[in-house]
């Protein structure tokens, strides 16, 4: 399989991307996946590596025509030398990771999919996760925090999303990811990264409250 060709392809597509899906995210997720694979058995490395590198391309943040992108990926995967079965599995993993995320639905992934999902989620946690959350907040014109949180409780869901803050995102999503990890290694890493985020949030709150 031509890994360097896949990397060149995604590097080019993500070169104008600043909402958290830049190429360095893909490199880190790949590194996470390599680490998780060390403690697992029965996975397919080529499927995992390809799915990691392609997983964000069919996010609506990166393409305005998801079906066209899926067709393009199908053709590219032939060029990169993936077998019929491998191509089908990669597509299954990346479509379900992304659609399930958007629909808040739970889809049962196989071990390869679980590793890709864990590797991606780990990059939303810890010091890197904090950096990505604030980067996203700036990109989406969201405030860091809302001192008047009660106001948001009476909003419609669309308004509610619009008034999302970075600190809210920690409570609504990031602190919950630790409980959703699939593999034992990811659970361990997530626990450490989540503890660090909690420590950070305590400091953040203390500073907002005048270090009282
Ligand atoms: P991924 O495919 O990597 O999981 P997402 O699109 O879910 O990507 O998010 C990309 C990054 O942006 C993640 O680190 C995530 O925590 C952050 N992010 C997503 N939505 C928000 C939000 N509303 N506020 C702050 N950060 C966010
Ligand atoms: Ni991702």
Q: What is the CATH number of the domain that holds 47?
A: 1.10.472.50
Tens of pLDDT along 128-138? 999 999 999 99
The yes-or-no verdict on residue 166 having pLDDT over 70 is yes
Ligand 1 and 114: CB distance under 6 A: no
Query: Are 84 and 181 part of one and the same domain?
Result: no
Q: What is the number of the ligand 1 atom nearest to the C-alpha of 121?
A: 4
DSSP letters spanning 153-182: GGS-HHHHHHT--HHHHIIIIIHHHGGG--
Would 30 be classed as within a structural domain? Answer: yes
The yes-or-no verdict on residue 102 having pLDDT over 60 is no
C-alpha–C-alpha distance, residues 156 and 153, integer Å:
9
Ligand nearest to the CA of 163: 1
Mean pLDDT of all residues in 82-102 = 87
Query: Are 74 and 144 part of one and the same domain?
Result: no
Split into its structural domains, the chain has a count of: 2
Would 111 be classed as within a structural domain? Answer: no
Nearest CA to ligand 1 atom 22: 169
Query: Are 2 and 84 part of one and the same domain?
Result: yes
Query: Are 98 and 12 part of one and the same domain?
Result: yes
Would 208 be classed as within a structural domain? Answer: yes
Ligand 1 and 26: CB distance under 6 A: no
The yes-or-no verdict on residue 107 having pLDDT over 80 is no
Query: Are 1 and 92 part of one and the same domain?
Result: yes
Q: What is the CATH number of the domain that holds 203?
A: 1.20.58.1910
Would 117 be classed as within a structural domain? Answer: no
Ligand 1 and 136: CB distance under 6 A: yes
At 59 the pLDDT is: 85
Sign of torsion over alpha carbons 62, 68, 74, 79: negative
Report the SS3 class of residue 194: helix
Ligand 1 and 193: CB distance under 6 A: no
Last residue of a domain, one of 52, 75, 106: 106
The yes-or-no verdict on residue 193 having pLDDT over 60 is yes
Res. 81 pLDDT band, cuts 50 70 90: very high
Query: Are 90 and 129 part of one and the same domain?
Result: no
Q: Distance, CA 154 to ligand 2 centroid (Å)?
A: 32
Last residue of a domain, one of 77, 106, 135: 106
At 20 the pLDDT is: 77
Res. 30 pLDDT band, cuts 50 70 90: very high
Q: What is the mean pLDDT of the chain?
A: 91
C-alpha–C-alpha distance, residues 46 and 82, integer Å:
8
At 99 the pLDDT is: 60
Domain region containing 205: 124-212
């Amino acid at each position: 399989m031509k890994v360097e060709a896949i990397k060149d392809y995604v590097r080019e597509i993500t070169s104008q991307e600043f909402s958290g899906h830049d190429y360095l995210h893909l490199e880190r997720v790949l590194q996470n996946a390599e680490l998780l694979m060390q403690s697992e058995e029965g996975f397919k490395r080529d499927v995992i590596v390809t799915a990691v590198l392609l997983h964000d391309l069919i996010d609506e943040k990166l393409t305005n025509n998801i079906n066209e992108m899926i067709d393009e990926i199908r053709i590219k995967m032939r060029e990169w030398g993936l077998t019929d079965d491998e191509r089908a599995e990669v597509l299954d993993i990346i479509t379900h990771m992304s659609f399930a995320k958007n629909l808040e639905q739970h889809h049962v992934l196989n071990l390869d999919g679980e590793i890709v999902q864990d590797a991606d989620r780990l990059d939303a946690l810890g010091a890197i996760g904090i950096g990505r959350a604030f980067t996203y907040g700036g990109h989406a014109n969201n405030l860091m925090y809302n001192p008047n949180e009660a106001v948001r409780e009476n909003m419609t869901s669309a308004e509610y999303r619009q008034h999302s803050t970075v600190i809210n995102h920690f409570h609504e999503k990031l602190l919950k990811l630790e409980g959703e990890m699939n593999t034992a290694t990811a659970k361990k890493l997530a626990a450490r990264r989540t503890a660090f985020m909690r420590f950070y949030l305590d400091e953040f709150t203390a500073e907002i409250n005048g270090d009282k």
